A and B are shown apart, each in its own frame.
Chain A
Amino acid sequence: MEINGKKYKAVVIGGSAGSFSVVSKILSKMSPDFPLPVIVCMHRLKHVRSGLVEGLNLKSKIKVVEPCDKDKIEGNKVYLAPSNYHLFIEFDNTFSLSTESVHNHSRPAIDYTFSSAAYTYRDKVLGIILTGANKDGANGLKDIHDKNGTTIVQDPASCDIDTMTKAALNLFEPDYILTPEKIAEYLNQLAS
């Protein structure tokens, strides 16, 4: 999977308040043949274990699943971090889960998923941070940036709450700042 001469192994997306509709919009516009795994970490209520996957599957053209621990990561699937677990990507291309303490008041924490993606995939990962009301994800996205992965920050002007995106922008210069529509367009270039 190559774009602008760069090969990718996965896309990771993080978001918090207001991000469900943004993720839903992006997935609805993505090509059904999108070949990479799309790993989504969204802040969610810990005691509500179902509903979110079903909601995303209503609009997504790619199958959305919640991974179990040790599941193999496959292309053309959207993986949603389960409620009340942190989600990590391991070197053997599997997921690992953890019930360690909350980070930035969150479990799943976006920083953890992003950082593990940076560590595992290095420059072959595309990280996207969306609307949200705390700073979780900013450091993780910077880890992707530091490993020469590609980074996209949702245009703060298009966010319901821009705390998360601005926190990222205060840390480093991302490759792109895009609206949700443009993010979907960009991703589809990967599939074309």
Chain B
Amino acid sequence: MARFISKTVPTLSSFERGLGLGLKDVRELSAFMSDVLGIPYDHMPVSFFKRRLTNVFAKNNIRNVEHFKELLTSGDIKENIYHDFSVSITEMFRDPGFWRYLRSLLQNLSPGKTFTVWFPDASSGEEVFSFLILIAELNMLDRIKVICQHPSSRITEDIRKGILRNKNAEVNANNYIRIEGNGNFKDYYSLQDNIFVLNTYLLQNVETVTGHFLNTAINEPAGLIMFRNKMIYYDKEVSEKGIKTLTGKLSPGGLIAIGGKEKMPESTMSSFKCINEKERVFKKHGFDISWNNGN
């Protein structure tokens, strides 16, 4: 078989080598972070934890693990960790088929029905703002209260102000075309200092809560919980705990949406019926909310 003799060229260090942490280091450090911050970092996939920690170190000019522990204990970088550990959603109307399906469900709700939609882990505004545009086009803005929650106050503040910091205008606009919206995407936002700012009227019924959803639950039942691509950042144990927590806050007959490649933990399935396998939408047993397409 052929062999190739190449010149030797220095290479970039890979993301896995970023901090030079072994598995034992990861376990110790993630447990330490969980103790200090009260968020289950020790239940995240190892590869994910290392990537995000590399991100935190880079953004905060942290020299080494000891320096990190020092800052963490002093509380100086708590907010930065909440912010830099989270994964932005990167595009509005991700999975256009999901949004078309959600619209069809909302269209069939009983006239006058009001309810709450909860985004328990709103790591950036894309998903929330997509939802707001969707309900604006259905003239439902005044019927739906939207609660967005995240441990980072910077993130919840951005959402409250309608700010998107990712510059994916073209992707967002193309996805909007794919959901077959009935307006002009550019009419929903303005650019202020080159930053996307959602029009204020869309945010009229939005509330923000700062805190992790496992520790700080909302006070009212939700008719719809948007939890797409959140379990992928936790192991089975915390995913199951998370879904059980959310189920407790979901109205009978309410819906929960998860990511297209996520599975509902088996132990929680007795509470739900899957109403759309492809778009991963589940309906909690009961009839307080009548989703006509999902009965």
Contact = CB atoms under 8 A, between A and B. Distances in A.
B47 A90 contact: yes
B236 interface: yes
B262 interface: yes
A153 B3 CA distance: 10
Contacts of B47: 88-90, 96, 116, 119
B248 interface: no
Contact of A171 (B11, B95, B233, B236): B11
A54 interface: no
A79 to B, nearest CB: 12
B97 A49 contact: yes
Interface stretch (B63-71, B82-90, B139-147, B192-200): B82-90
A69 B1 contact: no
B23 A91 contact: yes
A177 B231 CA distance: 40
A151 B5 CA distance: 14
Interface string A102-121: 10000000011001101100
Contact of B6 (A85, A100, A172): A172
A99 B51 CA distance: 13
A115 B178 contact: no
B46 interface: yes
Which among B5, B236, B259, B261 has the greatest number of chain A C-beta atoms within 10 A?
Answer: B261
A174 interface: yes
A142 B11 contact: yes
A139 B12 contact: yes
A165 to B, nearest CB: 10
A99 B45 contact: no
A111 to B, nearest CB: 7
B96 interface: yes
Nearest to A174: B4
Contacts of A67: 261
Contacts of B178: 47
A85 B88 contact: no
A99 B4 contact: no
A115 B16 CA distance: 7
B7 to A, nearest CB: 7
A143 interface: yes
A169 interface: yes
B183 interface: no
B212 interface: no
A159 to B, nearest CB: 14
Nearest to A88: B47
Shortest beta-carbon contacts, A-B, top 7: A96-B45, A69-B232, A173-B6, A88-B47, A119-B16, A177-B4, A115-B14
10 contacts: A47-B175, A47-B178, A69-B232, A96-B232, A98-B48, A171-B9, A172-B6, A173-B6, A177-B3, A178-B1
Interface of B: 1-9, 11-12, 14-16, 23, 45-48, 51, 87-90, 94-97, 175, 178, 229, 231-233, 235-236, 239, 259-263
